[in-house]
Amino acid sequence: MFDNSQNSSLREKALNYLEFLSLYEKELYLESARAVEKVEAPRADESSAMRPAQSSLNPYPAYAPYDSLHQMEAAVGGCLRCTLGSSRNKLVFGTGSSNARVVFIGEAPGAEEDRLGEPFVGRAGKLLDTMLDQIGWERSEVYICNILKCRPPNNRDPLPDEISMCEPYLHEQLRLLDPDWLVALGRVSAQVLLRTTAPLRALRGRVHKYRGKPFWVTYHPAALLRNQNLMPDAHQDLLNLKQMVLAGPDIEGNGI
Ligand code: URA
């Protein structure tokens, strides 16, 4: 459809935009950090908005306002940072074990998730549960969340400004969880988190690094529902993941 020069200019635009988003996000964090700095310093034995990050998963450790996922979920429940806030039924924060070693990250809630306030509870979610079961894992022992916490209308792809508004929440959530492994479910979360425009086929099958943590990429369960031929490869992805999780997080990888 496009000739090569159009392709590379589109690619360049996409990369510039991703760079802009990370600068914008930095500003957002710095603003929050400056606001926190103005507050009187807490006593050492009090819980603090400025306590040091437990890990590098939140790139701007000065923005670390929550002590627990529970506290964070209660605090962000009324979010109206982007327009999806006013069209959602329920914000879908994430579910699973706060001690999970593995966090699965999808794209955004669909209709069923929006109705129930839980990630991956529709058809794709049922398939994810089955696939976890096939490798001997239960949903309750991992953690499942999304890039976006609110449903985009008609399940369209997340827009860049929605991602830039919501991603800081994910970073803080990951800091609180401090898992050993992150798993992107599908192209969108893989591309957003790895800051790449590479296709899914180029991202699957090797370990990436996301802020120091091993990061694995597999198919989105909705893609598997559309194309059952992908199922054996997806099952193998999870078997490989399980083997690596059991071997521990010290593994080489590429990425941010
Ligand atoms: N698809 C996603 O990416 N996330 C969900 O929570 C449900 C479907």
CATH 3.40.470.10 fits 4-255, yes or no: yes
Taking the C-alpha atoms of residue 231 and residue 111, their distance in angstroms, rounded to an integer, is 24
Ligand 1 in contact with 95 (CB < 6 A)? no
Write the pLDDT tens digit of every residue in 107-165: 999 999 999 999 999 999 999 999 999 999 999 999 999 999 999 999 999 999 999 99
- Tell me the pLDDT tens digit for each residue of 209-235: 999 999 999 999 999 999 999 999 999
CA-nearest of 129, 173, 183, 184 to 149 is: 173
CA of 111 to the centre of ligand 1 (A): 9
Angstrom distances, CA of residue 150 to CA of 68, 85, 215: 21, 7, 24
Q: pLDDT tens-digit profile of 54-98?
A: 557 877 665 678 999 999 999 999 999 999 999 999 999 999 999
- pLDDT over 70 percentage in the chain: 75
For a mutational test of ligand 1's pocket, the pick from 116, 120, 144, 200, i.e. the residue with the most ligand atoms closer than 8 A to its C-beta, is 120
CB burial of residue 226 (10 Å; 0-12, 13-18, 19+): exposed
Q: What pTM did the predictor assign?
A: 0.79
Q: Rounded to the nearest whole angstrom, what is the distance from the C-alpha of residue 209 to the centroid of ligand 1?
A: 23
The whole-number pLDDT of residue 5 equals 57
Domain extent listing, the chain: 4-255
Beta bridge partners of residue 102, listed in sequence order: 181
Residue ranges in the chain assigned as alpha helix (H): 4-38, 69-76, 84-87, 111-116, 123-134, 160-177, 187-194, 200-203, 221-226, 231-247
Q: Provide the β-strand partners of residue 224.
A: none
CA distance 165 to 21: 10
